[in-house]
Amino acid sequence: MHEKFQADLNDLAGRGRLRSLRGRSGNDFTSNDYLGLAESEELRRAAFDAIARGVPVGAGGSRLLRGNHDEHEALESEAAAYFGAETALYFGGGYVANFAIFSTLPQRGDLVVHDELIHASVHEGLRSGRADHVAVAHNDIDAFDASIVRWRASGGKGRPWISVESLYSMDGDSPDLAGLLAVADRHEAMIVIDEAHATGVLGPQGRGLAAACEGRENVVTLHTCGKALGSVGGFILAPRAIRDFLVNRARPFIFATAPSPLTAAITRAAIEISGTKPERRERLARLVRFASGELRRRCGIVPSGSHILPIVIGSDRAAVSVAASLQERGFDIRAIRPPTVPEGTARLRIALTLNVDEAAVAELFGALAEDMRKAA
Active centre residues (catalytic): 32, 119, 165, 169, 194, 197, 227
Residues 167, 170, 176: CA angle, nearest 5 degrees: 30
Distance between CA atoms of 368 and 313, rounded to whole angstroms?
A: 12
- Do 311 and 348 contact (CB within 8 A), yes or no? yes
Q: What is the DSSP string of 81-112?
A: HHHT-SEEEEES-HHHHHHHHHHHSSPTT-EE
In one letter, which amino acid is 314?
G
Interhelix angle for 70-83 vs 261-276, to 10°? 20
List, in sequence order, every residue forming a beta bridge with 87; answer none if it has no partner.
Answer: 238
Distance between CA atoms of 85 and 371, rounded to whole angstroms?
A: 47
Return phi, psi of residue 174, to 5°. -130, 150
List, in sequence order, every residue forming a beta bridge with 331; answer none if it has no partner.
Answer: 27
- Do 196 and 34 contact (CB within 8 A), yes or no? no
Distance between CA atoms of 193 and 178, rounded to whole angstroms?
A: 12
Give the Å distances, CA to CA, from 137 to 57, 146, 147, 162. 44, 11, 11, 13
In one letter, which amino acid is 300?
G
Give the Å distances, CA to CA, from 90 to 94, 238, 263, 360. 9, 12, 11, 36
Question: The dihedral of CA 239, 201, 252, 105: what is its sign?
Answer: positive
**Where does residue 11 rank: exposed (0-12), middle (13-18), buried (19+ CB within 10 A)?**
exposed
Return phi, psi of residue 165, to 5°. -105, 145
Question: The dihedral of CA 295, 297, 300, 303: what is its sign?
Answer: positive
